[in-house]
Structure 1
Amino acid sequence: MAEFRQMRRSSLLPDRIASEIMAKITDGELKPGDTLPTEHSLAETFGVSRNVVREAIARLRSDGIIESRQGRGAMVKPMSERQTFRVDLQALGKSDNYADLFELRGLLEIEAAGLAAERRNATDLEELHAAIVAMNGQKGFDEKRLEADARFHRALGKATGNTYLSAVIDYISSRLKETTRATSDVYERDDLLDVTISEHRRILNAVEDGNKSAARDAMAAHIQGAAERLQVPDKVPG
């Protein structure tokens, strides 16, 4: 059975625990068909609550890495059955993965912004406004502002009216929190939140006006700016 190490307390515990379990799967310590230890056992091992473990397992399930079977618990799925697209948080900072992620965002979200400008409804606009309001309130990003940032991108994906595009953007938006945390470590000015809100407002204004071209341009500028602030090589589509 794979051995896990105890985690120190952090708001990122579910992500870290999910990554720790994923590392055991990647290294072969947990093989396809193996059953994970019980929630109670994992909670004791990591030194966290069962709710934290449950959330970590839910993320692995969402990523298509494990499945839950009645009477058997959470099991590692065979590689051939892992059809769900996933972004490995542990691997993001390696090689050109950040650049690849921003390039993917450009390919998806620039077009999504244009579609949202054409298809958004009153409920979509309310959600986009609410996300920006939730980002305000202090100088820097905390967990609440990180979630509000992700919420804006999820709302924009939903406004496209395309179920599959919305689902992919929904997934990626949860991983954007990690890029923002990384940006906070390297960005030398203290206006990161203000700049991000300003870029989001420009996108929202274009979407609200129904201006497809302006919405696409605003999203391209936002993703480009985010990449530059993280010092990622330019691979963002124009």
Structure 2
Amino acid sequence: MKRPAQAIGQPKPLSTRVAEHLSREIRSGRIAPESRLPTEHDLARELGISRNVVREALSQLRADGLVYVRQGAGSFALAPEDSKVIRLDPMSLGEASDLGQLFELRSVLETEAAGLAATRIGPDGLAVLAHALDRMQGSERTRDDSVAADLEFHREISRATGNAYILTFTTYIAGQIRDTIYLARRSQPIEIVVEETIAEHVAILAALEARDEVAARRAMRRHVLLSGVRADAKLPEHLNGELE
């Protein structure tokens, strides 16, 4: 059974629903790679919608790297594996196995980022982390500001690596990380979740202040995996074994 990772909001725009429909057709292979899509006029007539809606949907597919345009020839499908765009569907995080894959990704990315940060972070970066931790521990510890501080803590570690790609990707998945924090807070007593999370961040900061890259990696990896447990993620077996 799917468990939404975030509250259901307003109905999706028609152009988004059309884009999702065409995306499924491309990803399933029903629209073959390199095949020409119907014209805007034909798609509008087939789906019973306006050409403006079709145009917006095709624009979304181009942004997602699933469609490209040949000048004067029309729009063509790309194989999903040829897409140059990374896209994470927030609603897919309703499945425990998908959540597990997200935490597996974080265990690789953020563990190494913490190790790099331990050797590269400066006084200013440590001050940002300390301030973020203070906000997490403050009177608003169970409210949205503490979640924002948590995300800033992780972004600052990525920033401290000096690697722009690590920072970009960590920033990119921040929305998914935020959703899992709220998910954990809904799944378990919030005070327990907050206390555990703060203790893990204290350990990470202590390792960074000591310039101990081994301890920083260990503390970050433990935090990421325990975060997965709190969010009821189905972690891969090799990660579950680390927590036993």
Indicate whether the TM-score tops 0.5. Answer: yes
Match of 1:3 in 2: none
Question: 1:135 touches 1:149 (CA, 8 Å); kept in 2?
Answer: yes
Higher helix share: 2
CA shift, 1:86, in A, is 2.2
5 Å-filtered alignment, 1:148-227, equals 148-188=149-189, 190-227=191-228
CA distance in 1, matches of 2:197, 2:13: 28
CA distance in 2, matches of 1:233, 1:162: 30
Question: 2:64 touches 2:87 (CA, 8 Å); kept in 1?
Answer: no
CA distance in 1, matches of 2:165, 2:13: 26
Count of residues in Structure 1 that have an aligned counterpart in Structure 2:
196
5+ residue gaps, structure 1: 1-9, 38-59, 67-75
| Residue aligned with 2:94, SS | coil
| Residue aligned with 1:210, SS | coil
**C-alpha distance 107-36 of structure 1, shift in aligned 2 (>3 A):** same
CA distance in 2, matches of 1:77, 1:144: 45
Normalised by the length of structure 2, the TM-score is 0.67
Match of 1:126 in 2: 127
CA shift, 1:176, in A, is 0.6
CA distance in 2, matches of 1:109, 1:19: 35
Match of 1:228 in 2: 229
CA distance in 2, matches of 1:136, 1:103: 27
Question: 1:150 touches 1:174 (CA, 8 Å); kept in 2?
Answer: no
5+ residue gaps, structure 2: 1-5, 26-36, 41-53, 66-74
Structure 1 residues 129-138 or 114-123, which shifts more?
Answer: 129-138
Question: 1:64 touches 1:82 (CA, 8 Å); kept in 2?
Answer: no
**C-alpha distance 19-155 of structure 1, shift in aligned 2 (>3 A):** farther
Normalised by the length of structure 1, the TM-score is 0.68
CA shift, 1:231, in A, is 2.1
Match of 2:64 in 1: 65
Q: What's the C-alpha RMSD, in Å, of the aligned pairs?
A: 3.6
- Alignment-mate amino acid for residue 136 of structure 2: M
CA distance in 1, matches of 2:198, 2:87: 27
**C-alpha distance 115-77 of structure 1, shift in aligned 2 (>3 A):** farther
- Alignment-mate amino acid for residue 174 of structure 2: S
Match of 1:53 in 2: none
- Alignment-mate amino acid for residue 101 of structure 2: D
- Alignment-mate amino acid for residue 64 of structure 2: I
Question: 2:187 touches 2:231 (CA, 8 Å); kept in 1?
Answer: yes
CA shift, 1:36, in A, is 3.6
CA distance in 2, matches of 1:233, 1:168: 23
- Matching of residue 28 in structure 1 with residue 22 in structure 2: yes
Percent of matched pairs sharing the same residue: 27
CA distance in 2, matches of 1:230, 1:168: 21
| Residue aligned with 2:138, SS | coil
**C-alpha distance 19-186 of structure 1, shift in aligned 2 (>3 A):** farther
- Alignment-mate amino acid for residue 85 of structure 1: I
Match of 2:116 in 1: 115
Larger Rg: 2
- Alignment-mate amino acid for residue 152 of structure 1: F
CA shift, 1:102, in A, is 0.3
CA shift, 1:18, in A, is 7.5
CA shift, 1:141, in A, is 3.5
**C-alpha distance 84-232 of structure 1, shift in aligned 2 (>3 A):** same
CA shift, 1:201, in A, is 1.3
